[in-house]
């Protein structure tokens, strides 16, 4: 039997009738059309469904929508201000930390939560905070670089864009 739940997602309030077994992930994607949150494993291993609940990164695939009433939910769609990306989003783009992009929403939300709590994390702290977000493309180095950049620990001119690297490689060949 469906039950009513009031959800606060990206500062907007929604009232929905959901089946008890519906996960927050299903509501976000199927009912609210917020498809930035991804599902891969569905069992807690990959982190692609990460959202912020009361500021903390949590797995929407293992969270019931009914357990989210009166909690503040932020998805990847809630980070940018209008056309302007959040510093973490911008850093991911600048550093080439995105390839297929499937892991990216979860990565960015985990990184955002980390920087909120630890504005200048060490590399170890970055790795620990992102250990639950798997990426099959980037090899992680650029993601770590992006988090360092977003925390102001790498100056923008220290980052060599991919284009220049490939030009350099061509020259050396």
Partner 1 sequence: MILPKFRHIRPRSIEEAVQLLAEYGPETRLCAGGTDLFPRMKYGLIRPEAVISLKGIPVKTPKVAPGGELHLDALMSLAEVARSPLVMKQAPILAEAAFNVGSNQIRQMATLGGNLCLEPRCSFYNQSHTFQFVDPCFKRNGDQCYLLPKGKKCCAVFCGDTASALISLGALVNIAGPQGNRELSVEDLYTGDPLRPIDISEKEILTDIHLPVYPLSRGSSFGRFSLRGGVEFAALNVAVTLDMGEDKTSCLKARIAVGAVRSAPVRMIGAEAAMAGNRLSKERIEEAAHLAAAEAHPFPHHGYTAPYLRECLKVETRRAILLAKKRVDGI
Ligand X SMILES: Cc1cc2nc3c(=O)[nH]c(=O)nc-3n(C[C@H](O)[C@H](O)[C@H](O)COP(=O)(O)OP(=O)(O)OC[C@H]3O[C@@H](n4cnc5c(N)ncnc54)[C@H](O)[C@@H]3O)c2cc1C
Residue 87 binding: pick among ligand X, partner 1, ligand FES, none (C-beta 5-8 Å cut-off by kind): none
What six digits make up the tokens of 118? 């630890």
Contact pick of 7, 51, 76, 135 for ligand FES (by CB under 6 A): 135
Q: Which residue bears the tokens 């989210």?
A: 68
Give the span between the Cα atoms of 171 and 173, in whole angstroms.
Answer: 5
- Laid out side by side, the sheet with 3-9 consists of 12-18, 3-9, 72-74, 50-53, 56-59
Give the span between the Cα atoms of 9 and 157, in whole angstroms.
Answer: 36
Q: Is residue 45 at the binding interface for ligand X, with CB under 6 A as the rule?
A: yes
Q: Is residue 112 at the binding interface for ligand FES, with CB under 6 A as the rule?
A: no
Q: How far is the CB of 43 from ligand X (least distance, A)?
A: 6
Residue pair 93/161 in contact (Cβ under 8 Å)? The answer is no
Q: How far is the CB of 55 from partner 1 (least distance, A)?
A: 10
List the one residue out of 45, 98, 44, 43 whose CA is nearest residue 76: 98
Q: Is residue 113 at the binding interface for ligand FES, with CB under 6 A as the rule?
A: no
Q: Is residue 168 at the binding interface for partner 1, with CB under 8 A as the rule?
A: no
Q: Is residue 26 at the binding interface for partner 1, with CB under 8 A as the rule?
A: yes
Q: Which residue bears the tokens 């949150």?
A: 37
Q: Is residue 28 at the binding interface for ligand FES, with CB under 6 A as the rule?
A: no
Q: Is residue 100 at the binding interface for ligand FES, with CB under 6 A as the rule?
A: yes
Contact pick of 2, 17, 20, 44 for ligand FES (by CB under 6 A): 44
Which stretch in 61-69, 79-87, 88-96, 137-145 sits in contact with partner 1 by CB under 8 A? 61-69
Residue pair 55/43 in contact (Cβ under 8 Å)? The answer is no
Q: Is residue 59 at the binding interface for ligand FES, with CB under 6 A as the rule?
A: yes
Binding residues (CB under 6 A) for ligand X: these are 44-45
């Amino acid at each position: 039997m469906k039950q009513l739940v009031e959800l606060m997602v990206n500062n907007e309030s929604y009232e929905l009738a959901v089946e008890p077994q519906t996960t927050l992930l299903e509501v976000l994607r199927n009912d609210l059309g917020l498809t930035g949150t991804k599902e891969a494993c569905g069992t807690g291993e990959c982190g692609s469904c990460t959202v912020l609940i009361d500021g903390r990164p949590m797995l929407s695939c293992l969270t019931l929508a009914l357990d989210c009433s009166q909690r503040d939910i932020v998805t990847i769609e809630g980070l940018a201000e209008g056309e302007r990306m959040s510093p973490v989003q911008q850093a991911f783009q600048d550093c080439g930390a995105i390839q297929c992009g499937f892991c990216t929403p979860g990565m960015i939300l985990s990184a955002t939560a980390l920087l909120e709590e630890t504005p200048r994390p060490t590399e170890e702290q970055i790795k620990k905070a992102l250990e639950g977000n798997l990426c099959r493309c980037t090899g992680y180095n650029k993601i770590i670089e992006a988090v360092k950049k977003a925390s102001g620990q790498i100056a923008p001119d220290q980052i060599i864009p991919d284009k220049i690297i490939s030009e350099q490689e061509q020259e050396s060949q």
